[in-house]
Structure 1
Amino acid sequence: MQVLRIIFVHVLSALSAAVVYVFGIDYDGYIPYFFISVILFIFYVIFAAPVQYFVNRNPKRFNPKYLLIYIFFSFLVWLFFAVITDPKNTLDFLMEYEVYLFSISFAVIFWIWDSVFLQNEKKAATK
């Protein structure tokens, strides 16, 4: 049951983040939305799941400290991909507001879904 909740959090986070991303880049269309959702789901599973496991060892709903942890790691992932894709223009990439908008919004989205679905079950299980 816990694994299904984790997958559900990742799916909802990917769908929500894809909406933010599509509106952020100002593009219309359903096909890119589907591909962006799939890519974001893979990124959430690869990069957010270990952080989520670490944070959920001591569950607290809507803890601001957890939000800061998610924002930090989200920014690291964006920075990692900026360096990998174009190392010469990393500083230009860091000067764009989209990097901060997407890293913070993707972390907030994940933090909200994590707090709603996973922190709730852990809290109920300890009572």
Structure 2
Amino acid sequence: MSQEVSELSDVIPYYFFSLVSSCLSLSAVLVIFSLGTWGVLGIIVFSFYVVIPYLLFAVPVQVLFNKHPKKFSLIYFCLYNFFSLLAVFIYSSLLNFNFSMDILTTKNYYAISLLAALFFWFWDSVFLQKKSSVS
């Protein structure tokens, strides 16, 4: 039991670095595509909005994937993309108080979902998926 706790405490900083890097990356891209009107303050604000779905949807999947690590696995990317589509749909529906399927017809929904999955997959592969090479 103490060995498992020790192993977990060794990887927690890597989960944190992966999460923070993903939030900052996605927030920076969102600010840039919103014509840069927010600046650095926008990156900070968007990061607080982005961290919640990442914590609720991506980190549990990341913990599961870390049991069988594979760097830059396309299967992991596809699964992150699936959960990202789900997370962005739920989160945007809650923020807009609109549970209609209209969001599925917008390009922004797919762009944000894909970018969120891509950034999380990339930083997860950089920080956590250490034991295996490209698959």
Kept after mapping to 1: 8 A contact 2:53/2:91: no
Q: List alignment gaps of at least 5 residues for structure 1.
A: none
* 2:29 is the alignment partner of 1:25: no
Cα distance between partner residues in 1 of 2:32 and 2:73: 28
2:110 alignment partner in structure 1: 100
* 2:45 is the alignment partner of 1:40: no
1:112 alignment partner in structure 2: 122
Pairwise CA RMSD = 1.7
1:67 alignment partner in structure 2: 77
2:98 alignment partner in structure 1: 87
Under a length normalisation based on structure 1, what TM-score does the superposition of the two structures give? 0.85
* TM-fit CA distance, 1:91: 3.0
Any idea what the Cα deviations from partners look like across 1:69-115, whole Å, max 9, x if unmatched? 00000000111123333336x33321110110010011011001101
Identity %: 34
Under a length normalisation based on structure 2, what TM-score does the superposition of the two structures give? 0.81
* TM-fit CA distance, 1:46: 2.4
2:59 alignment partner in structure 1: 49
SS at match of 1:47: helix
Q: List alignment gaps of at least 5 residues for structure 2.
A: 1-9
2:18 alignment partner in structure 1: 9
2:87 alignment partner in structure 1: 77
Cα distance between partner residues in 2 of 1:69 and 1:83: 21
* TM-fit CA distance, 1:14: 0.4
